[in-house]
Amino acid sequence: MDEQNDVNRGEFTWKISYFSEQDANKLYSEAFTVSGCEWMIVVYPKGNNTDHLSLYLDIPDSATLPDGWTRKAKFSLSVIDQINDVLSIRKERQHYFTTKRSDWGFKNFIPLTTLHDPTWGFLANDSLVVKAEVCVLTVSPPVNIQPASPTDNFDSYFTGLEKLINAAETNGDSVGSSLCHQDGALRAEIPSLEEVAKAKQSLKECLSDLFKLNMKERLSEALSTLSSARTGLSSQQKIAIETFQANFNDFTSDFLTFEQDNAEFELHKLQKDQRFSAMKKCHETHILYKQLMDDLIKEEEEVKRRRDKLLSDWEVLLVESEEAKSGYKDEQKKVAEAEEKKRKAEERMSRSTTAWSNLKAQFC
């Protein structure tokens, strides 16, 4: 066999005394453990529907294992020649053991004629020695894991959900404002001082909140008016207006893109909040279900306690009933015996009474 970690390897030797006197169809060794897994050897002394000794490696109590259980192992089985060890017969296999294929081995291991031939040492002093070497490669699920309770998977999932909820509540997201604009036409005519003043006021209002509805149109009109003004503006204001107006479409397009992206953000944020609310509600319901399950488990434990008490009382009653039944049969037998004795006594008394009456009649 290939080299493996010692913890995954093991061997077991089984000596079967008085082998030729065995009447059973098949014999089972005691269980032995390799890599946390239990194994046993199965021997068919007279062959498994064959004229050969049959040997198998088997899993004890495989019917109790859960569905999906598998165990991959490389193993060998040997029949030892107890006179000359080098003549021992050894065969090797690799197999996936499952709940439905829990044994594997060799139907025709060694001819029965060879096994019982005294010139060989396989049955020295009518004892057969069988050796198993096992190397466990994989086990699913891993051994030494306690079976999960019905709520363990739920608890694990909703514990992660609770962490997600707490993180979401701790790290809130801020929401920006929205941009809404509409296109407007530029005007090239020279405005009056009154129109310039109004345009400046309108521009001021626009600049204080560029993201209001219809603000793009008002902004366009104000810039158009001010760009045509000859008075009422400083040189720096004129440069700023001309610069903004020269890139007006690009700037307003940026505002429109922001408006669309922001609207999408707000939609997804709303949907996220709705999902969060649903997630939190599910978690609260899980806590309720868990409490109900805990209460049910307590009720089941109480029912089990009462059931065990009832079975215990029932066993006592069974003993008392058996004693009463046995006593009744004894008394029934004694009544029959006493009745027979009474009948015989009555017969004797009847003879005595008749004799007494005859005697009395003769002398009285």
Domain borders along the chain are 6-140
Q: What pLDDT is attached to residue 268?
A: 86
- Please report which residue ranges of 84-212 form alpha helices under DSSP H: 112-115, 152-170, 193-208
Neighbours of 123 (CB within 10 A): 19
Q: Which CATH class is domain 6-140?
A: mainly beta
> Is 83 within 8 Å of 121 (Cβ atoms)?
yes
Q: What pLDDT is attached to residue 211?
A: 52
HSE (side-chain half, CA atoms, 13 Å) at 283: 17
Q: What pLDDT is attached to residue 169?
A: 65
Residue 95: strand pairing partners: 73
Q: What pLDDT is attached to residue 69?
A: 82
> Is 185 within 8 Å of 249 (Cβ atoms)?
no
Q: What pLDDT is attached to residue 248?
A: 74
Low-confidence ranges of the chain (pLDDT < 70): 1-6, 141-164, 168-189, 205-216, 230, 251-252, 256, 259
> Is 282 within 8 Å of 164 (Cβ atoms)?
no
Q: What pLDDT is attached to residue 146?
A: 46
d(CA 202, CA 210): 11
pTM, entire model: 0.41
Q: What pLDDT is attached to residue 209?
A: 58
| Closest to 130 in 3D by CA, of 49, 282, 14 | 14
d(CA 236, CA 226): 13
- In order, the DSSP letters of 166-178 are HHHHHSPPP----
Amino acid, single-letter form, for residue 286: H
Q: Which residue has the tokens 């929401």?
A: 175
Q: What pLDDT is attached to residue 42?
A: 96
d(CA 270, CA 275): 9
d(CA 146, CA 77): 31
Q: Is the peptide bond preceding residue 147 cis, with omega within 30 degrees of 0?
A: no
